[in-house]
Structure 1
Amino acid sequence: MTFGTFDVFHYGHLRVLERAAELGDRLLVGISSDELNASKKQRAPIYPLQERMAIVAGLKVVDGVFVEHSLDLKRDYLREHHADVLVMGDDWEGRFDEFNDTCEVVYLPRTPAISTTELIERISWGSS
Structure 2
Amino acid sequence: MQVKKKAELCEKVILTYGTFDLFHIGHLNLLRNLKALGARLIVGISTDEFNSLKGKKTIIPYEQRAQIVEATKFVDEVFPECCWEQKRTDITRLNVDIFAMGDDWIGKFDDLSDLCDVIYLPRTKDVSTTEIKKMMQQQFV
Return the index of the structure with the highest Cα Rg: 2
Query: In angstroms, what is the RMSD of aligned CA positions?
Result: 1.0
How many residues align? The count is 126
Q: 1:18-33 residue pairs with structure 2 within 5 A?
A: 18-33=32-47
Matched, 1:47 2:60: yes
Aligned residue number for residue 10 of structure 2: none
TM superposition outliers: structure 1 runs of 4+ over 2 Å: none
Aligned residue number for residue 17 of structure 1: 31
Superposed CA offset, 1:18-55 (max 9, x none): 00001111100000010111111x23210110000000
One-letter code aligned to 1:27: L
TM-score (norm 1): 0.95
TM-score (norm 2): 0.86
Matched, 1:103 2:109: no
Q: How many percent identity over aligned positions? A: 45
Superposed CA offset, 1:72-128 (max 9, x none): 11101111111110010111101111111101001001111111011011112118x
Unaligned residue ranges in structure 2 (runs of 5+) = 1-14
Match of 2:125 among 104, 112, 119: 112
